[in-house]
């Protein structure tokens, strides 16, 4: 950040009075420009004993498989964001069951929320973000072709928890240096 | 938002190609400035049969009682944010037990996460954001002096759930028009 988005003057990076960390401050109009983590909301859609994955049509991780998820927008709830992303990316309508994973991806300032969801009918499709959508049973999951560690975590937890028929909220912290993005096959 | 925070030129509000909602776009350097909900993280600190509340030393709702909570910062996890806010606002060290409420406060673009936490010793204090901290038993809660509806919700759920000794995650949507901020006594 170089300029004040309100008045257009240059900002400086300093600790404002009464604060304890550096912020971008406009010395002209006085505004403080806070930067905060963003929320990614999505679903783990289940149909019978299968789960729905999407193959990414965009970078990063073009061509790799993921769960439908994306940035939560202003003016919606976390649940609405998860449903919207599932409809946009997989053309799928689901019923949310519960919040299942909450992952703080610290080094990219993101918090990812994945909901367990039920796909009512085997209807899904593609979009400008999705090359292909497909149902996978557990033994078909393309583990070495998953886009993100967070997705691998959610799927691993899901198949393990399904054996117990018990799905506790999974609270995960990904520290700087862990492989949240490019996942080595 | 009037100016591009990167190059300082004026931004326009329009739907970028491939998107479906208006964004602030810099026609000079091409940057798209997304605006997304922010996370508020905090604790419901429990000590025996009492809970710890803080009386606000800042607006909004100066002088009203609240739980220690505040904006999550870049570079931390949701849990770290909840612990930090509890230490900063109440000078209290707690052990997090579980995520307890997740509230989408839609009309102010916030998602509030409150963790159940255990106060190990009855040690707490004040800060530049807190006039007073105090332990309250259920029959002492100043229901008509609480700062926010979200805080009232969390406390109501807590005392009800405590009777059952079962604390499910409470998922709440506050729609535009509901009284999330000034709570009428």
- The string of DSSP letters for A135-167 reads EEEGGG--GGGBS-HHHHHHHHHHHHHHHHT--
Stretches in chain A below the pLDDT threshold 70? 176-185
At residue B185, does pLDDT exceed 90?
A: no
CATH top-level class for A38-184? alpha beta
Contacting residues of B for A169, CB less than 8 Å apart:
98-99, 169
Percent of chain B with pLDDT over 70: 95
pTM of the model: 0.94
A22-60 exposure pattern, b = at least 16 Cβ within 10 A, e = fewer: ebbbbeeeebebeebbbbbbbbbbbbeebbbbbbbeeee
Q: Pick from B184, B78, B88: which is nearest to B133 by CA?
A: B88
The CATH number corresponding to B1-35 among 3.30.365.10, 2.20.70.10, 3.40.50.1860, 3.30.210.10 equals: 2.20.70.10
Residues of A in contact with B72 (CB under 8 A): 36-37, 111
ipTM of the complex: 0.93
Q: What pLDDT score was predicted for residue A175?
A: 80
**Predicted confidence (pLDDT) per residue in B112-162, tens digit:** 999 999 999 999 999 999 999 999 999 999 999 999 999 999 999 999 999
Residue range(s) occupied by CATH 2.20.70.10 in chain B: 1-35
Q: How far is A139 from chain B (nearest CA, A)?
A: 31
For residues A152 and A149, what is the distance between their CA atoms, to the nearest angstrom? 5
Return the SS3 of B137.
strand
- Residue B179: phi and psi, rounded to 5, are -85, 70
Given a cut of 90, whether residue B177 has pLDDT beyond it is no
Given this model, what pLDDT does residue B175 score? 80
pLDDT digits (tens, 9 = 90+) for B63-80: 999 999 999 999 999 999
pLDDT at B176: 66
CB contact under 8 A, A1 and B2: no
Considering CB atoms only, which of B37, B73, B78 is closest to A74? B37
Lowest mean pLDDT among A63-72, B18-27, B78-87: B18-27
pLDDT digits (tens, 9 = 90+) for A57-86: 999 999 999 999 999 999 999 999 999 999
Mark yes or no for CB contact B2/A2 under 8 Å: no
pLDDT mean across residues, chain B? 94
Integer angstrom CA distances of residue B129 from A166, B5, B66, B89, B132: 41, 30, 11, 6, 9
Q: Which residue of B has its CA nearest to A5?
A: B3
Asked whether A63 and A55 are in contact (CB, 8 A), the reply is yes
Q: What is the mean pLDDT of the segment spanning B82-103?
A: 98
String of DSSP letters for A59-118: SSSTT-EE-SEEEPPTTS-HHHHHHHHHHHHH---EEEEEEEEEEEEGGGTEEEEEEEEE
Q: Which residues pair with A102 in a beta bridge?
A: A113, A171
Distance between B104 CA and the closest CA of chain A, angstroms: 5
- Asked whether the beta carbons of residue A6 and residue B3 sit closer than 8 angstroms, the reply is yes
Q: Which residue of B has its CA nearest to A128?
A: B18
Residues 6+ apart with CB under 8 A from A131: A55, A56, A57, A63
Q: Where are the domain boundaries for CATH 3.90.79.10 in chain A? A: 38-184
Q: Considering only CB atoms, which chain A residues are within 8 Å of B104? A: 76-80
Is the bond preceding B109 in cis, omega lying within 30 degrees of 0?
Answer: no
**3-state SS, residue A12:** strand
* More reliable by pLDDT, B33 or B183: B33
Cα gap B27→B32, rounded to integer Å: 9
CB–CB contact A36 B71 (8 Å): yes
> Would the CB atoms of B3 and A1 count as touching at under 8 Å?
no
Contacts of B98 in chain A (CB under 8 A): 169
């Amino acid at each position: 950040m170089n300029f004040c988005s309100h008045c257009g003057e240059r900002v400086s990076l300093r600790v404002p009075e009464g604060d304890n960390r550096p912020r971008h401050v406009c010395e002209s109009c006085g505004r403080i420009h806070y930067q905060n983590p963003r929320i990614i909301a999505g679903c783990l859609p289940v149909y019978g004993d299968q789960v729905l994955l999407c193959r990414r049509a965009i970078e990063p991780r073009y061509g790799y498989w993921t769960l439908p998820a994306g940035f939560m927008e202003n003016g919606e709830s976390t649940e609405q964001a998860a449903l919207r992303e599932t409809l946009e990316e997989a053309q799928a309508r689901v019923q949310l069951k519960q919040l299942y994973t909450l992952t703080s991806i610290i080094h990219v300032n993101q918090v990812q929320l994945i909901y367990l969801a039920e796909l009512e009918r085997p209807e899904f499709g593609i979009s400008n973000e999705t090359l292909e959508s497909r149902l996978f049973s557990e033994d078909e999951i393309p583990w070495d072709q998953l886009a993100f560690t967070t997705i691998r975590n959610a799927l691993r937890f899901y198949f393990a928890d399904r054996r117990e028929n018990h799905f506790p909220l999974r609270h995960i912290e990904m520290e700087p240096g862990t492989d949240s993005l490019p996942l080595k096959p």
